[in-house]
Every structure is written in structure tokens, then in C-alpha cells.
């Protein structure tokens, strides 16, 4: 498991414990398969493939010389329109999450304190993972570094560009919002910038 994958897993768990970690969690689109009690895995796989066809508009074919095997053609990973759509969705989700946090911060005293506590925990966690991530990148072999750069560009570049634009910070209207929410946004931006810099330093 590479370092960014570890970050994703850690922050997926952290989201349950601390809502402020929304800033780091990318849109998870992985598809895991495995045997579980009471579930027909073959049927579940067929349903997933059928759903994939409906989403991509691509049909499935039976390969020659294979009984019941299927070759499912999907949209290429480097499809510019797909990449652009994903980036737009990621940025829109980030904006919506910050808007919701600002709304809560301006709400009841209880909601305000929740946001303060969440942001404090998130900043500490993000800083800790940033340190671990830099250290991990320094020790990676070239093939892992290449994959790490690909993951960063696919999952984080749009968010980093958006953070650097300052649009999220412009949503914060008071010194208190800047201190609590703004500092958390800054820590998130610093994390992504440090990861980007570490990859560049390694030649990727």
C-alpha cells in the first residue's frame, strides 16, 4: 500500500471521528470484491458490471474460446473529459463541505464548538500524516514514485489548485472563522504542497 493510499484509508476512518477531515478525503471510487456470508458474489459482480455498462454506455462481449467469460471495455483512464469531470466534482464537493462548516460555525453555540473541536483534531491529524507521507516518499522505489505521482495528479491536483486560488478563504468573513476554519484550510493546503514538493524532489 503506497503512502497516499494509506492517507486515504486513515482519513476515511478519521472522517467518521472528525468531520473536518473532509478536506483530504478524495472521492473513493474503488471496487472491492470478496466472499461474504449471505451474499452471492457472482451475482453481485454481474450486477456491478451491468451498472458499469449503464454508466459508461459500453456493452460487454464474450471472448473467443472462453465459456461465459466477459471482456468489459471501459472509458480510458486518460480520457480528458472524464478527468475534467472528476476534478470539477472534487472541487465542488470541497466547496460544499466548507460552506456547511461555515454554516455550522455561524449556528448555535453547540454547533460552533463542534466545528472548533473538529478543526483542531483535523489540523493535528493532517500535520502528523504530512510528516509520515514525506518520509515515505523519500524511501519509495521509482515504480512506486511514478504511481504516487499519478495518484496525486488524479486525486489531488484539482483540490490543490483550488486551495491555492484562495476562493475558500474568501468565504470566511470574521477573524474567528479565519482562525478556526481558515487555519484548517491552510494546513490542508500545506499538506498537499509538501506532498507535491516531495515528489518533485524525488524526480517525479
What pLDDT is attached to residue 85?
87
Q: Tell me, yes or no, whether 49 lies in a domain.
A: no
Structural domain including 104 reads 3-19+84-201
- Whether the CB-CB separation of 174 and 119 falls below 8 Å is answered with no
**What integer pLDDT is reported at residue 67 of this predicted model?**
36
Tell me the three state secondary structure of residue 44. Answer: helix
Query: 3-state class of 202 per DSSP?
Result: coil
**Range 9-12 contact pairs with CB under 8 angstroms and sequence separation of 24 or more:** 10/125, 10/129, 11/125, 11/129
Question: Does residue 128 lie within any of the structural domains?
Answer: yes
Q: What is the pLDDT of residue 3?
A: 44
CA neighbor of 181 nearest in space, from 118, 94, 124: 118
Is residue 168 situated within a structural domain?
yes
Using the structure block, give the residue that is written with the C-alpha cell 463541505: 97
Number of domains, the chain: 1
Flag whether 191 is in a domain: yes
Q: Do the Cβ atoms of 167 and 182 come closer than 8 Å?
A: no
Residue 121 lies in a domain: yes
Q: Using DSSP, state whether 189 is helix, strand or coil.
A: helix
Q: How far apart are CA 179 and CA 59, in angstroms?
A: 52
Q: pTM to 2 decimals?
A: 0.62
Per-residue pLDDT tens for 27-49? 333 333 344 444 343 434 444 45
Positions in the chain whose pLDDT score sits under 50: 1-48, 50-77
| Distance, CA of 156 to CA of 188 (rounded, Å) | 11
pLDDT the model gives residue 1: 43
SS3 146: helix
What pLDDT shows up at residue 79?
62
Whether 110 maps to a domain, the answer reads yes
Residue 52 lies in a domain: no
Answer yes or no: are the C-beta atoms of 187 and 127 closer than 8 Å.
yes
Residue in the block written with cell 453547540: 110
Residue 181 belongs to a domain: yes
Contacts of 29 (CB under 8 A, 6+ apart): none
Amino acid at each position: 500500500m503506497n503512502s497516499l493510499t494509506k492517507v486515504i484509508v486513515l482519513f476515511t476512518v478519521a472522517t467518521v471521528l472528525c468531520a473536518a477531515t473532509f478536506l483530504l478525503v478524495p472521492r473513493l471510487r474503488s471496487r472491492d470484491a470478496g466472499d461474504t456470508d449471505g451474499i452471492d458474489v457472482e451475482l453481485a459482480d454481474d450486477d456491478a458490471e451491468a451498472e458499469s455498462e449503464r454508466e459508461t454506455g459500453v456493452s460487454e462481449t464474450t471472448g473467443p474460446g472462453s465459456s461465459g467469460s466477459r471482456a468489459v471495455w471501459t472509458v480510458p483512464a486518460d480520457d480528458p473529459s472524464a478527468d475534467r469531470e472528476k476534478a470539477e466534482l472534487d472541487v465542488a464537493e470541497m466547496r460544499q463541505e466548507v460552506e456547511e462548516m461555515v454554516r455550522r460555525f455561524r449556528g448555535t453555540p453547540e454547533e460552533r464548538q463542534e466545528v472548533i473541536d473538529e478543526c483542531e483534531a483535523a489540523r493535528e491529524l493532517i500535520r502528523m500524516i504530512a510528516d509520515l507521507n514525506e518520509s515515505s516518499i523519500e524511501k519509495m522505489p521509482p515504480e512506486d514514485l511514478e504511481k504516487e505521482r499519478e495518484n496525486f495528479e488524479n486525486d489531488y491536483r484539482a483540490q490543490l489548485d483550488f486551495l491555492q486560488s484562495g476562493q475558500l478563504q474568501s468565504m470566511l468573513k470574521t477573524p474567528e472563522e479565519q482562525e478556526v476554519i481558515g487555519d484548517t484550510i491552510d494546513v490542508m493546503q500545506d499538506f498537499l504542497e509538501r506532498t507535491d514538493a516531495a515528489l518533485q524532489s524525488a524526480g517525479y
